[in-house]
Amino acid sequence: MAETEPSQRAATLTSQLDELDAHITKLTAVEDPSQHFQADLFDQINYQLSPVAYPDLTARFLPRVGLILKKVAEQAATAAPTGTEVEWKGYPPPLILFTIKLLRPLDFPSALELCQASYLITALQSSEEYINALALAILEKAALSPSGASILAATPGLVEAFLERWLISPSVSVGQRGVEILGDILDIDCPLSQPAFTDEQQEVLDIRLVRRATQGHGAVWRRLFGPDNLCWAILHKIDSELLPAASTDSKVMAQRSCAQDRLLRLLPRLAVLDFQSLTHCIAPAGPPESDKDEFSTSGHDGQPMSLLDFASLHMVDRSNDYLMYLTWTEYFMQLIGALRVADTARLSVETLRRLVREADDEQLRNNLWSMPESLVKTPIGEADEMRAWLREISPRPSMRITNGN
């Protein structure tokens, strides 16, 4: 009996695929496919497909599935009142999951050609997590090559929509995947040499690095941290519109904390890739001053600051949000620990020393000096190197330097 089971399963799958083929053909022929879905049929197929690429199924189904996706999006856009955001409500989750499986063999240009940028932006604007997942499955392909990242950077509105959804989504999955995907894209796009981390250092210091074959083009870096100041534009929009600082809504307040947490989890990785970009990315002058720690783009004195200064010193409400205070402390420890390995030219010493000094937090200094004894924070055999690094970054009172730094 056991020998016949695989052949029986294959025959069942073949039959179900034929049934699905006929169903998809019918869906492509109707004006509004959302009214005719057989979600259980898609469920049956999804259950049997393992997490690998199926090029034959992609060639067989994806062009028609793409047509169905576009038809449903067009129907939603037609039905939506003028001036309102379009929600993709017409797709059953099994169809989206099936589409994600079919996309696996494609590179970013091919996937973008199938699911045009305008539809991806609409998917990112949706509040539905499973619809966001389709857009993220395509965006993560931009991290497979420098050319893919450059195409993403050149596609109008797509990077902005990605950043907004990543920061404002209440979904834990969207937040975590966004940290990984954006980090991977900026890694493959980075025009600088990748820092040398051992596997153990990556694990202990929680630094994820992609395998690069060539240097990146820097296109996404320039969009985010160059003259366009896209990162600051997004942060200002969040502060003024999407998650307003003045809001007393508990959901908005909680999501602001989530957005801050996501940014703090990304920055140490970016710092080891290109530290100077984060310190040279200066907020534009002119935003309103505030006496609260928030997503404001200027310091308490109203002077523009770097992105690294903003995140490290001004973003988190350390006095009134204890959980974010703990997150902020972990961020500082990861940033300083990772830059010990990555910063072979010691370009970051002066900046890190100043940040710790201006943070003026005794508990932070104590936590930093606990790192050499912790196998969770310092790789085995590197305790002495960590102590030497901390003496430069956060000297204890008896060994404080006196040159004013």
Would you state the pLDDT for residue 346?
79
Bridge partners of 41, per DSSP, are: none
CA 172/CA 167 separation, integer angstroms: 11
CA 58/CA 103 separation, integer angstroms: 7
Where does the pLDDT of residue 290 fall: very low under 50, low under 70, confident under 90, or very high at 90 and above? very low
pLDDT tens per residue across span 52-98? 899 999 999 999 998 898 888 777 767 666 655 555 566 788 999 99
Distance between start and end Cα atoms, the chain: 77
- Side chain identity at 310, as an amino acid letter? F
Which sequence spans correspond to the domains of the chain?
11-142, 145-334
CA 65/CA 62 separation, integer angstroms: 5
Would you state the pLDDT for residue 263?
97
CA 219/CA 346 separation, integer angstroms: 26
User: Residue 4, Cα to own-chain centre: how many angstroms?
Assistant: 45
pLDDT tens per residue across span 195-229? 999 999 999 999 999 999 899 999 999 999 998 88
Buried b (16+ CB within 10 A) or exposed e, 229-263: bbbbebbbbbbbebbebeeeeeeeeebbbbbbbbb
CA 195/CA 274 separation, integer angstroms: 10
Segment 257-273 mean pLDDT: 97
- Side chain identity at 373, as an amino acid letter? E
- Side chain identity at 100, as an amino acid letter? I
CA 196/CA 159 separation, integer angstroms: 28
DSSP 8-state symbol, 377: T
Would you state the pLDDT for residue 245?
85
Segment 174-187 mean pLDDT: 98
Reported residue count of the chain is 405
**C-alpha dihedral sign at 104, 108, 112, 118:** positive
Taking the model in full, what pTM does it have? 0.89
For residue 338, pLDDT beyond 90: yes
